[in-house]
Structure 1
Amino acid sequence: MGEKVVAGAFDLSDRQRYRDKLRRCLRGLERLLEEKRFDRPKNLMGLEIELNLAGSDGMPRMLNAQVLERIASQDFQTELATFNLEVNIAPHRLGGRVFDRLAEELRIGLAYAHRKAAELDAGIVMIGILPTLEHEHLVSANLSAADRYTLLNDQIVAARGEDFTLDIDGVERLTCTSTSIVPEAACTSVQLHLQVTPARFADVWNAAQVAVAPQIAVGANSPFLFGRELWRESRPPLFLQSTDTRPPELQAQGVRPRTWFGERWIGSAYELFEENLRYFPALLPICDEEDPLEVLDAGGVPRLGELVLHNGTVYRWNRPVYGIADGVPHLRVENRVLPAGPTVTDVVANAAFYYGLVRALAEEARPVWTRLPFEAAAANFDAACRLGIDARLRWPRRGRYGGVGEIDAVTLVRDELLPLAAAGLDAWGVEPADRDLYLGVIDERCRRRVNGASWQVATFHKALESGLTRPEALAATTRRYSELMRQGEPVHTWPVGLPEPARLG
């Protein structure tokens, strides 16, 4: 979404030229891999967080341009809708007290942004989906004022050829239609980047695919949309349906959606980029002047601009990323599965769990993905999104006879995955104090069976029981969430329910 593009129309020649450039870019990537041109590992991690703007009444504020003008920092950028922002944290080297440093940077940056937003009766809210969002907020008029968003919306709408249908059946059922992709803006996430060598890429990506279900089980934070209680993590079905270029007939034929978990374990990064070209037509056929093969012939490093842009319109939950830093190409795995929030401590704990777990899983002598069918990993993702902390997951059995069995997610995390994550953080060289503090947050969520989604749902139902209407209860839950978020204690410590003044409306 960060591409600098200019709105305009495309004709048949644009699409043919773009397809040809994509093929040359893919060949360029293949040559870079063959020639071993990629950067050596630097143990670098990166973090992006998408944010909501909400007022003191808990309702969304369509003010991102004005808020960004006041923040005046390149760390904060627009996102799809005018109630969204994104904060980008500079890459950190994994090791030492990296997570404490990361937490301190986030607290300082978000507190500053919140003060600036407050000048406009708005506030920063880290939450997967803002509970007070209504259908009328998610319309084309509330797209951020940037050509790239308008162009992406126009191209996805044109590819679909009809209204988008949202149909999510959870605790309650939501059915509605949209004439644009703006409902996708309700999804605010945390994106975790890890730079890896080509030789390690497949193991890390496969490990990240295994990890998504436990990540969601302990980190779910998006139980509401348009006033309905849906899945504990409603972002994945919402994202899929609100960006789905397939009309029902193509869905029935089994055409792949652009928001995609995948369908197999991989053996190289190249396979994912090749799949992008094989399965997904271009949405933004914008060509630059670079010929990647001529650049390589001259000894340079190509930007592979068309390949990068196309990759950005295929919404994998673990996405491959090609980039260049200091003139040297590198590869990253971008983990996109986590919702934002609830607090900085929770976000950093989720990151520590992910980076530790992925390192350990990728280095196992008998990797989980050699013993777990890919279809089971995809089913685990679905189960975790639906049920959150109460999910049951399929997992390879220990012991002599092996096979795959079903296990409670919190039992799996506490008994098997947290020790693996601790070992992984040790391998990164993370200080024991950081390791124990942030993995301890995950352990306490499991022990108490509490995450952001379960707290939201419990507080909302208590608000209803106190006599508030559904919209009042959602607004009161949002206000209380925002208050506790800013106090900063992790979500498993939050008291359920509303303080007395909130109950009085």
Structure 2
Amino acid sequence: MGDDVEHRVFTRQDRRAFRDKVQLCLDAMARMLADDQFELSEPHIGMEVELNLVDGSMRPAMANGEVLEAIADDAFQTELGRFNIEINVPPHRLRDRNVFELEESLRASLNSADARAARSGNRLAMVGILPTLRAEDLTAQSISANPRYSLLNNRMLETRGEDIELRIVGTALPGAAAPERLETVFDSILPEAACTSLQLHLQVGPDEFAAHWNAAQAIAGVQVSLAANSPFLIGKALWHETRLPLFQQATDTRPQELVNQGVRPRVWFGERWITSIFDLFEENSRYFPSLLPIVSDEDPLAVLDAGGDPALTELRMHNGTIYRWNRPIYDTTDGGHHIRLENRVLPAGPTVVDTIADALFFYGTVRALVDADRPLWSQMSFDAARENLESAARSGFTARLYWPEVGWVSPQELVLRRLLPMAHAGLAAYGVAAEVRDKYLGIIEARCLAGRTGADWQRSAVAERERAGQDRPAALAGMLADYLTLMDEGTPVHGWQL
């Protein structure tokens, strides 16, 4: 969730100084973009995977400090909730057969971490929302010990001025007569911790960033249709990918009056196609007040004058509290600085091989759209892309998506007939070996043909258990136990049996 910060109280002067400093960072970035000073490297796959911790009864385990101590691996870090951890996967080259090494590395890291967590009676669960979470698990007492999280919680609630409301109307389970509804109130942002995701990174040059971001926005709905894995929250069957409305509502710093006025939410798809990465950073500074107005001593323009790489600390801090589904990242490395596209729409899980397949579909399709003679975003309204994402999150494979020259189509039809060939071509352009493309994109094809995502499997498994006489808590716990067994076995989700 970003850099560590100490707990503190902010003044009006802090906020004014921070706003001025963000503008200074923007001036420095504009100069760097004009001078084309950014690092370029061979394309790599970079990813972060957020995980849940569960105990032997399939309940959330508030034990991330203990589990991280047992894992003893710097690749694993805390997240907002005490029942969350995250693994940062070292980048692997997007070329030849290197993705096979990535799969084995991720599997080995997770297996080792799970074995060490088991010593204290806990397990890792790679799932978009932990199905057995209850409202009492999502209180301020469950926030991780890092002071940043408590500070962020306090600042969001102060900015909102009232409690967090969750209002979600679901999609009916198989055989159910009506959809279920969640309406509840929380006095912390901890419901955000229920959202566990897969975040994909791609380093790109400044001149190419806008095309990559536009392409990622255009396929966000397709990604969610293919990979939905978050159908249950606080005992209710809601959207196929409930993470999306949950994350937006749990981090919403707007009281209802500002919502009515059309003020932009901090979890934001955006409102237009862009022509430069600068557009996104400038919008962030123009539209969103600061949450953590901490000012550093760096003068970024002076650093540039001296031939150095400015940290742009304030710009990065502010950017880290605005949760675009495709987010621009500025970062520094030894001897340089670069920009990355961070794709945030995907849930965690269900298996390692599904995760890699979802990643390769994203990288390949985005590359093909960027390389196309006519940009897709010149043929498709931005509103259509936004509506695709919402429809996909609500309905998964039963959604209807809009695509230029096709019209309204099912996600499976769109992927099988249009996007899989593009993903193959895009990965080939990166130099990815044919056997790699065939394996992982073959999983995407099989998932479309089977019509089964993680969300589909979870919903069907719970419905079947309830028909057999179990109540909802027992059905969710039993389903999760089966899920973890199948997750560990590693068969792609399209092959999971009920």
Pick the TM interval, shorter chain.
over 0.9
Asked if the contact 1:460–1:474 (Cα under 8 Å) also holds between the matched residues in 2, the reply is yes
Deviation at 1:467, TM superposition (A): 1.1
Please give the secondary structure, in 1, of the residue aligned with 2:219. Answer: helix
Partner residue in 2 for 1:127:
127
Asked if the contact 1:390–1:410 (Cα under 8 Å) also holds between the matched residues in 2, the reply is no
Listed as ranges, the matches of 1:13-162 within 5 Å are 13-162=13-162
Partner residue in 2 for 1:430:
432
Partner residue in 2 for 1:198:
206
Q: Which amino acid aligns with 1:39?
A: E
Please give the secondary structure, in 2, of the residue aligned with 1:16. Answer: helix
Asked if the contact 2:200–2:344 (Cα under 8 Å) also holds between the matched residues in 1, the reply is yes
Distance across 1 between alignment mates of 2:464 and 2:107: 30
Distance across 1 between alignment mates of 2:479 and 2:375: 42
Q: Which amino acid aligns with 2:26?
A: L
Number of equivalent positions: 490
Q: Which amino acid aligns with 2:393?
A: C
1:9-35 CA distance string (max 9 Å, x none)? 000111111011100000010011111
Partner residue in 1 for 2:177:
none
Q: Structure 1 residue 413 and structure 2 residue 421: aligned?
A: no
Q: What is the TM-score when the length of structure 1 is the normalising length?
A: 0.96
Q: Structure 1 residue 384 and structure 2 residue 392: aligned?
A: yes
Deviation at 1:248, TM superposition (A): 0.2
Asked if the contact 1:56–1:479 (Cα under 8 Å) also holds between the matched residues in 2, the reply is no
Partner residue in 2 for 1:370:
378
1:350-380 CA distance string (max 9 Å, x none)? 0010010110011111111110000000000
The two structures, once aligned, show a CA RMSD in angstroms of 0.7
Q: Structure 1 residue 490 and structure 2 residue 492: aligned?
A: yes
Partner residue in 2 for 1:307:
315
1:469-505 CA distance string (max 9 Å, x none)? 1100000011110111001111111111xxxxxxxxx
Q: Which amino acid aligns with 2:396?
A: G
1:290-347 CA distance string (max 9 Å, x none)? 0101111111110000000100000000000001122211110000000000000100
Distance across 2 between alignment mates of 1:493 and 1:44: 29
Please give the secondary structure, in 2, of the residue aligned with 1:342. Answer: coil
Distance across 1 between alignment mates of 2:346 and 2:298: 35
Q: Structure 1 residue 168 and structure 2 residue 168: aligned?
A: yes
Q: Which amino acid aligns with 2:440?
A: Y
Partner residue in 1 for 2:470:
468
Q: Which amino acid aligns with 2:367?
A: R
Partner residue in 2 for 1:452:
454
Q: Structure 1 residue 273 and structure 2 residue 281: aligned?
A: yes
Asked if the contact 1:390–1:449 (Cα under 8 Å) also holds between the matched residues in 2, the reply is no
Distance across 2 between alignment mates of 1:333 and 1:193: 6
Partner residue in 1 for 2:483:
481
Please give the secondary structure, in 2, of the residue aligned with 1:350. Answer: helix
Distance across 2 between alignment mates of 1:307 and 1:379: 30
Please give the secondary structure, in 1, of the residue aligned with 2:466. Answer: helix
- Runs of 5+ consecutive residues of structure 2 not aligned to the other structure: 172-179
Listed as ranges, the matches of 1:225-264 within 5 Å are 225-264=233-272
Please give the secondary structure, in 1, of the residue aligned with 2:145. Answer: coil
Q: What percent of counterpart residues are identical?
A: 52
After TM superposition, the structure 1 stretch with the greater mean CA deviation from structure 2, 53-62 or 435-444, is 53-62
1:45-86 CA distance string (max 9 Å, x none)? 211000000122211100000000011110000000000000
Listed as ranges, the matches of 1:345-364 within 5 Å are 345-364=353-372
Deviation at 1:436, TM superposition (A): 0.4
Please give the secondary structure, in 1, of the residue aligned with 2:32. Answer: helix
Deviation at 1:242, TM superposition (A): 0.4
Listed as ranges, the matches of 1:174-193 within 5 Å are 174-193=182-201
1:442 to 419, 441, 444: 444
After TM superposition, the structure 1 stretch with the greater mean CA deviation from structure 2, 8-17 or 33-42, is 33-42
Please give the secondary structure, in 2, of the residue aligned with 1:133. Answer: coil
Deviation at 1:40, TM superposition (A): 2.1
Asked if the contact 2:40–2:203 (Cα under 8 Å) also holds between the matched residues in 1, the reply is no
Distance across 2 between alignment mates of 1:438 and 1:44: 17
Distance across 2 between alignment mates of 1:256 and 1:206: 19
- Runs of 5+ consecutive residues of structure 1 not aligned to the other structure: 399-404, 497-505
Q: What is the TM-score when the length of structure 2 is the normalising length?
A: 0.98
Deviation at 1:96, TM superposition (A): 1.0
